[in-house]
């Protein structure tokens, strides 16, 4: 009997927990789900699991130690900043650990100790990071294994609303953390490499430097650049690749309209707006426009942003209600970003029956052995979710984590250390099993006229 401890049963955990319970008897697993809100967890996970749920405060050291002592492997689904304390416990108590999150500096620094203790700490095992690593590395390794050279690598992921639930002019709804969407792209210029040259995009131009991407059966998307492309050069062993670019997917037209919020200053999270507790949508918008005793907020915005009154951007802004006299309703002074988020949540929240969609797309240019002109390969994955809580996000985050746990517990993966799934021992079995759950990539060599537009 092996004991699995799952810490945190939030909205991304249902597929993870279902998978583990389904396989529990076959593999001899005993599962404990520890969560700060056990009643909510019971409601989410259903009766079959109910007895395995225990109330738990992740910041309470002694009770964390007690639970971890009793298990063989810990799966931490806590917010990323809470993984470190769990990891320290696992190291001290000699337990394996799996998280879906980015490897933090602190986690990375434990590497030699983890190895010395013969432990396995697996990270970045969700969808992004996670499935992006696995699918990219599989493509890249295939090229290198057949003697080819990668000359260009692009990778885009987006969490979107499914086509059947898409009923607004933005073709977008919040399917994950709204705050991350509002703050996207902030914190420094985007840096990437194109044909060997380093290129830079400042925040104020980020949403106007998009790439149009076509995904078979799903139509056109646009991608804006992520800040971290250059980090992936080392990670994916692409140090000499002349072009490397990572980005986030939206439906075409989103970025041009979002850029208005950026230009107006509405996404700023660095200061609290005075007297904003009882502000209306319209007053919020007007705070970023010049004073005039008679001109309308609409006309001032259109003039300031050089928008035609019949533009699709104005239609999108109108639909969101940014000109409405309705109170924002936060009830306390807040930053522009917090107020904008609240306004967006009124329109962009998923309805109970809505489905989400995860879209991932990679593009590779290669120079194959013995050839003199480049080939282009595209690979795409689209996962449509079910209504909450069985979202595509929960599925694509939870299943790889669960499958990684199985690899560790069965001894199929046994290399000690702090890992992410960029090695075949991890990505091959997980990608293969994900296919049986309908999470698969369509790869093809691409030679059409409609080549993706350059950034």
> Among 27, 102, 203, 218, which residue interacts with its own copies (rule: CB under 8 A)?
203
Decide whether 47 or 325 has the Cβ nearer to its own copies: 325
Q: Name which of residues 234 to 253 contact its own copies (CB under 8 A).
A: 243
201 binding its own copies? (CB under 8 A): yes
Decide whether 384 or 452 has the Cβ nearer to its own copies: 452
In the complex, least distance from residue 233 CB atom to its own copies, rounded to whole angstroms: 11
Decide whether 303 or 414 has the Cβ nearer to its own copies: 303
> Among 188, 216, 432, 442, which residue interacts with its own copies (rule: CB under 8 A)?
188
Please work out the total of residues on this chain that contact its own copies, with binding judged by CB under 8 A. 38
Q: Name which of residues 310 to 369 contact its own copies (CB under 8 A).
A: 336
Decide whether 47 or 275 has the Cβ nearer to its own copies: 275
200 binding its own copies? (CB under 8 A): yes
The CA–CA distances, whole Å, from 399 to 16, 83, 260 equal: 5, 19, 37
Contact 393, 176 (CB under 8 A): yes
Q: How many residues does the chain have?
A: 455
184 binding its own copies? (CB under 8 A): no
In the complex, least distance from residue 272 CB atom to its own copies, rounded to whole angstroms: 10
Question: What x/- string results for residues 250 through 289 when contact with its own copies is judged by CB under 8 A?
Answer: ------------xxxx--x-xx-xxx----------xxxx
In the complex, least distance from residue 265 CB atom to its own copies, rounded to whole angstroms: 3
Decide whether 78 or 455 has the Cβ nearer to its own copies: 455
**Structure tokens, 187:** 């914190």
290 binding its own copies? (CB under 8 A): yes
The binding site for its own copies (CB under 8 A) comprises: 188-189, 191, 194-195, 197-205, 209, 243, 262-265, 268, 270-271, 273-275, 286-293, 304, 336, 454-455
């Amino acid at each position: 009997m092996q004991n699995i401890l799952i810490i945190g049963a939030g909205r991304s955990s249902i597929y993870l927990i279902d998978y583990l319970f389904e396989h529990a008897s076959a593999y001899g697993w005993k599962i404990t789900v520890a969560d700060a809100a056990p009643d909510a967890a019971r409601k989410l996970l259903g009766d079959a699991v109910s007895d395995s749920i225990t109330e738990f405060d992740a910041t309470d050291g002694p009770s964390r130690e007690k639970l971890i002592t009793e298990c063989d492997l810990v799966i931490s689904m806590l917010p990323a900043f809470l993984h470190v304390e769990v990891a320290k416990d696992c190291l001290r108590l000699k337990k394996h650990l799996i998280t879906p999150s980015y490897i933090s500096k602190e986690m990375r620094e434990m590497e030699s100790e983890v190895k010395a203790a013969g432990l396995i700490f697996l990270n970045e095992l969700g969808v992004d990071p996670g499935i992006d690593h696995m699918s990219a590395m599989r493509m890249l390794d295939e090229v290198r294994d057949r003697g080819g050279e990668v000359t260009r690598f692009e990778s885009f992921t987006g969490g979107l609303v499914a086509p059947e639930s898409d009923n607004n002019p933005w073709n977008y709804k919040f399917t994950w953390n709204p705050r991350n969407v509002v703050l996207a792209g902030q914190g420094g210029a985007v840096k990437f490499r194109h044909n060997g040259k380093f290129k830079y995009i400042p925040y104020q131009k980020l949403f106007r430097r998009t790439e149009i991407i076509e995904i078979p059966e799903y139509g056109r998307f646009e991608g804006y650049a992520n800040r971290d492309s250059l980090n992936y050069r080392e990670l994916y062993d692409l140090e000499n690749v002349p072009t490397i670019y990572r980005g986030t997917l939206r439906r075409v037209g989103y970025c041009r309209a979002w850029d208005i919020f950026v230009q107006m200053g509405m996404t700023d999270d660095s200061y609290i707006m005075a007297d904003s507790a009882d502000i209306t949508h319209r007053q919020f918008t007007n705070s970023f426009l010049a004073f005039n005793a008679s001109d309308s907020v609409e006309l001032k915005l259109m003039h300031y942003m050089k928008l035609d009154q019949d533009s699709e951007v104005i239609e999108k802004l109108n639909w969101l209600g940014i000109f409405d006299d309705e109170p924002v309703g936060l009830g306390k002074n807040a930053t522009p970003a917090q107020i904008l988020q609240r306004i967006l949540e009124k329109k962009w929240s998923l309805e109970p029956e809505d489905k989400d969609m995860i879209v991932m797309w990679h593009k590779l240019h290669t120079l194959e052995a013995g050839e003199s002109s480049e080939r282009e390969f595209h690979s795409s994955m689209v996962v449509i979710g079910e209504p909450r809580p069985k979202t595509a996000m929960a599925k694509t985050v939870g299943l790889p984590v669960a499958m990684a746990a199985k690899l560790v517990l069965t001894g199929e993966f046994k290399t000690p250390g702090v890992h992410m799934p960029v090695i075949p021992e991890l990505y091959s079995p997980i990608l293969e099993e994900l296919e049986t759950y309908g999470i698969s990539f369509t790869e093809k060599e691409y030679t059409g006229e409609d080549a993706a537009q350059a950034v």
